[in-house]
Amino acid sequence: MQKLSLKWNWRYLRIELFVLFFISFMISIISDLEFSTYEQHDVSRFAEDLDYRLVCGAFSFIMYGGFYWLFLKRYVLKSNIWGVLLCLTGFVFVNQIANHYILNWIIVHADFISADIRARTLGYRLNFAVNYLFISVFFPLLGLAFLIRTLQQNEAMKTLKEQQLFSELNYLKAQLHPHFFFNTINNIYSLALQQSPLTAPMVARLGELMRYILYEANQNKVFLQREIQFLNNYVEVEQMRYTEEKRITFDVQVVEASHQIEPLLLLPFIENAFKHGLAEETDDGFVRIVVCATERELILEVVNSKPKGNAYRKVPGIGTENVRKRLELLYPNRYTLEVQEDYKQFHVNLTLMQA
């Protein structure tokens, strides 16, 4: 896990400032307001000692903030239990001594504070109110430090998961590229053996496919129109291999310019339709491909003929296995994949829900 940072973070700083402000000012102010209302039965008397409370609150804010940011938070983020205990002990003494010698001196010499409060302050003795200090200050600040620590840990874990996801997706893509090129080069090799005039056009089309894979498919997302253009080029390459008796259709419905998709996500299903359908078909075979995009979902339907005597492949190929893993990583709980077969055909239906 990434090391937790001690640097300022505005999102967390706002939480810390609010808690420190509430502990330093609002607790005593709310207490005075309640006392004026329920004990003195005169809410207006709340304002009599407001200047005194503001001075005490400002002093406390400085003391508590320094204690929290300079010591307590650092030890909590570093999981240093002995440091936290040392803070607990030291804070009791330092806070009480600072209140007695510094805060009281400020109050006594502050002309805007009432003479009665200044007179009473002169008579205060040094004491250690440990219980109140723990309940109202130390434990809330300790809880705040642990809250910030938890938030930073969650953020670090999220970043780590994103990095792992990115690495795994790149690994799956790297596996898919050689697999795709291997199948396409086999197609060209087959035509070359037959001395087919389609060999040169197929090599040119392969160049376009390679350009897309090498220079565009390394992005996180591409425009769906561009991906479909790539798939159409692949289908044209396959059409060059087969006789006119093989029926191959590629139908695209409702694709807007703004639609995007992860590159090479649909290719393995189309590859398999040709590789395990037409490539093994000796009679009149077919491949039907439909891509339909709406505002909320993208649907891919691939249907291909099933060669006679061809049993269902229980062990998926590299491309199919990769695309299943990529779907789990990219569309968790946002996709459905149905693969059906009968004695005549294979049927694949993939639906991707938009985020």
Concatenate the DSSP letters of all residues of 188-249 into one string.
HHHHHHTT-TTHHHHHHHHHHHHHHHHHTTTSS-EEHHHHHHHHHHHHHHHHHHS-TTSEEE
Q: List the CATH code of the domain at 196-353.
A: 3.30.565.10
Q: What is the pLDDT along the chain (355 residues), one digit of tens a residue?
A: 445 555 557 788 899 999 999 998 888 888 878 877 777 777 777 677 778 888 888 999 999 999 999 998 988 988 888 888 888 888 888 888 888 888 888 888 887 887 777 777 776 776 766 777 778 888 889 999 999 888 888 887 776 666 666 666 565 555 555 666 776 787 778 778 888 887 888 888 888 888 887 788 778 888 988 999 989 988 888 887 776 666 889 999 876 767 888 888 888 888 888 877 776 655 678 899 999 988 888 999 999 888 776 554 444 444 567 778 888 878 888 999 998 888 788 899 999 987 6
pLDDT of 302 reads 94
Q: What tokens appear for 238 in the block?
A: 């396959």
On whether the pTM is more than 0.75, the answer is: no
Distance, in Å, from the CA atom of 223 to the CA atom of 226, rounded to the nearest integer, reads 5
User: DSSP characters for 126-175?
Assistant: ----HHHHIIIIIHHHHHHHHHHHHHHHHHHHHHHHHHHHHHHHHHHHHH
pLDDT of 298 reads 92
List the domain boundaries for the chain.
10-157, 196-353
Distance, in Å, from the CA atom of 350 to the CA atom of 353, rounded to the nearest integer, reads 10
Cα dihedral 170, 175, 179, 185 sign: positive
Sequence-distant (≥ 6) Cβ neighbours of residue 230 within 8 angstroms: 209, 212, 267
Secondary structure letter of residue 125 according to DSSP = -
Q: What tokens appear for 111 in the block?
A: 């002309």
pLDDT of 180 reads 65
pLDDT of 107 reads 82
